[in-house]
Amino acid sequence: MLRSRYRRITFFFARVILGLIWWEFFLPRIGLRGRTRNTRTERLRKAAVAFRAMAIDMGGVMIKVGQFLSARVDVLPEVITAELSELQDEVRPETYEDIRTLAEAELGASLETLYAEFDSQPLAAASLGQVHRAKLKKPQSRKQAANGSVEQGYVDVVVKVQRPNIKTIIDTDLAALSTVGRWVQRYRPISKRANIPALLEEFSRVTYQEIDYLAEGRNAETFATNFAERPEVSIPEVVWSHTTQCVLTLEDVYAIKITDYEAMEAAGIDRRAVASRLVDVYLQQIFEDAFFHADPHPGNLFVTPVPDGDEENDGWLLTFVDFGMVGTVPDNSIAGLRELLIGMATKDPGRMIKAYQLLEVLLPSADLELVERLEAMAFDRFWGKSMEELREVDYDELREFAHEFRDIVYQLPFQVPQDLIFLGRTVAILSGIATGLHAQFNFWDSIAPYAQKLIQDEEGGFNLRFWLSETVSILQVLWGLPRQLDAVLGKMERGNLVVQVPQATAQLRSIEWGVRRIVGALTFIAFLSNGVQLYLAGELIFSGGLLAAAALNLAWLILPRRRRR
């Protein structure tokens, strides 16, 4: 292990965590909430600048963490994503001499023997390896047509070579992140919902898979097979004769980067169409193939103009590269994900609850009725809005929404299933890319046709099991309705009908707590001032007692209160 590297990573995150505790937990509880709010943007910017500098200097897994955060433009503040977005292009390359030495040792021959040309300048430098353009000595046959016919061969390739000593660097970075994960796991609201060490263990497994280029080549071929019937999607071919565990040679398919908006517009490519195709392709990966590209950051997605385009591809291709990080959807999660998509598309809160249960997202203590009300209200207020429209939602409306459901917000009865963590990460990055392509991109418009497709039977368009399930659900509701109505009328006649108003109860509880804090603050001031006066007068014993009482009083004021029911 590289101990100085380990210490640098852990010390950085320790400073960030302690800073958050000081600014976001301690200061607001002693009446400095305004100070916290007014300095938040600059503090976040400085933290992002510091992380970016560290990631660029150190490389390795830190780059991957930064790339993930930079793609979360739909959730994270712009001050963070803007600062980290340059990480996509700022990874420092290895020297050509080091890359050449490693590649020749792996391939067992000189580069001049294997390639007609090999560019000494890297095309791209990633966190775990870097890519160089090259030309083969003999054209490589390409078999991409659905009927298996051989198309024109190619000689232009890219060669991906691992960074020297990358395994030792990964070992150190993951050990440091594991330490930080154990710190975060001590925070109960997080530990209740996610097993951070287990998630980091899964992340470690996937990261080590990324440095197995033989596995990456097989992943690329699996994707090519899955999209063989979709000519608008491009997957590079693998040159197996020039590939080992640490060197990967692929067909050169690099084109317009998916975040190069000016180049797309200059080529006459509709950015909204790119966002729609990207989401549609991922819907197939998740719901049909159960095998998805789990690292869709902008450096791995391209738009390729096709001069002689037709109706099948609209004059351009959506191109994927880098298949080192892939994910699979477990069999037990597919039904839940389908239910979730249908529930979102049909605005059905009941289906959403059923999906959460199938996916084991809800904690056992969750109030299902309250969660369902929350879903219904969220559909009414926010369904159909684009990400830009959601960002522009009035603050008072969001505050009112949070206030109405503050019980569920306080409890946060959700957890992160380990099997779905990389799917969640992928969808998060995808959301950010689609929003960047077109600010008015409406995710709802994309999922509605696909949800309808899931409902229909694959053969005849009529899903008998689905409609039988729906009919049984409706009959169950109708069967119980007269009994429920009779019970309500009976309570009204007897004067036993009780209407619960949780909002009023919570408001009274909040007022009671506020009064107690005022009294506690006055008591703290009294103990502190008298203790200081006695200390100055030389009465050390009595002053010590009063100052200790003041400290206890202050602790009572700033520590989180337990929820009383």
pLDDT digits (tens, 9 = 90+) for 61-119: 888 778 766 655 545 677 887 888 777 666 789 999 999 999 999 999 999 999 999 99
pLDDT at 250 over 90: yes
pLDDT at 1: 61
d(CA 167, CA 159): 19
Angstrom distance (rounded) from CA 276 to CA 271: 9
Q: pLDDT value at position 373?
A: 80
Examine the domain organization and report whether 59 and 143 are in the same domain.
no
Determine if residue 315 is left, alpha or beta; phi over 0 gives left, psi from -120 to 50 gives alpha, anything else beta. left
Do the strands 151-162 and 326-328 form a parallel or antiparallel pair, or are they unpaired? unpaired
DSSP state of 94: P
Q: Return the higher-pLDDT residue of 420 and 505.
A: 420
Q: Is residue 70 part of a domain?
A: yes
Final residue belonging to a domain, choices 54, 88, 122? 88
State the pTM of this model.
Answer: 0.68
Residue scoring higher pLDDT (451 or 562): 451
Is 564 within the bounds of a domain? no
Burial category of 184 from C-beta neighbours within 10 Å (exposed 0-12, middle 13-18, buried 19 and up) = middle
Q: Are residues 267 and 376 in the same domain?
A: yes
Residues 44 and 79 reside in one and the same domain: yes
The residue that leads in pLDDT, 500 or 302, is 302
pLDDT for 426: 84
**Cβ-Cβ contacts under 8 Å for 179 (sequence gap 6 or more):** 10
- Give the pLDDT band of residue 352 (cuts 50, 70, 90): confident
Closest C-alpha to 318, from 272, 290, 267, 281: 281
Q: Quote the pLDDT of residue 414.
A: 63
Distance CA 111, CA 134 (A): 10
DSSP SS3 for 362: strand
More confident position, 532 or 180: 180
User: Which H/E stretch holds residue 364?
Assistant: none
In a domain, 565, yes or no: no
Is 295 a catalytic site residue?
Answer: yes
Split into its structural domains, the chain has a count of 5
Q: Residue 461 region, left (φ>0) first, then alpha (ψ -120 to 50), else beta?
A: left
CA dist 317 and 251 (Å) reads 15
Task: Give the range of the structural domain holding residue 81, as residue numbers without chain letter.
Answer: 3-88
Range with the poorest average pLDDT among 175-179, 224-228, 461-465, 512-516: 461-465
Residue 563 confidence (pLDDT): 43
For a pLDDT cut of 70, what percent of the chain falls above it? 68
Q: How confident is the model at residue 443 (pLDDT cuts 50, 70, 90)?
A: confident
Residues 314 and 416 in one domain: yes
Between 6 and 455, the more confident residue is: 6
Same domain, 226 and 340: no
Nearest alpha-carbon partner for 322 in 166, 421, 209, 201: 209
The verdict on 318 and 222 lying in the same domain is no
**Tens digit of each residue's pLDDT (9 = 90 or more) over 377-405:** 777 776 766 656 665 656 566 556 555 55
- Which DSSP string do the residues of 538-551 spell out, in sequence order? T-HHHHHHHHHHHH
Q: What is the gyration radius of the CA atoms in the chain, in angstroms?
A: 29
Q: How far apart are CA 490 and CA 167, in angstroms?
A: 72
64 and 206 housed in the same domain:
no
Tell me, yes or no, whether 129 lies in a domain.
Answer: yes
Residue 311 CA, chain-centre distance (Å), reads 34
Sheet strands side by side (includes 233-234) = 233-234, 316-320, 301-305, 256-257
Please indicate, yes or no, whether residues 512 and 542 belong to a single structural domain of this protein.
yes
167 plus 69 within the same structural domain: no
Task: Assess whether 71 and 203 both reside in one domain.
Answer: no
Confidence of residue 545 (pLDDT cuts 50, 70, 90): confident
| In 249-367, alpha helices (H) | 261-266, 271-284, 331-346, 349-358
CB 331 within 8 A of CB 345: no
pLDDT greater than 90 at residue 321: yes
Q: Looking at 74, 252, 280, 295, which residue is catalytic? A: 295
Residue at which a domain ends, from 254, 271, 298: 254
| Residue 245 domain flag | yes
Looking at residue 391, its pLDDT comes to 58
Structural domain contains residue 447: yes
Could you tell me if 108 and 131 lie in one domain? yes
The closest alpha carbon to 164, from 101, 216, 108, 109, belongs to 101
Phi, psi at 302, each rounded to 5°: -135, 155
| 563 assigned to some structural domain | no
For residue 382, is it within any domain? yes
Looking at 446, 475, 495, which one is the last position of a domain?
A: 495
Say if residue 30's pLDDT is above 70. Answer: yes
489 lies in the same domain as 419: no
If one compares 409 and 129, the residue with the highest pLDDT of the two is: 129
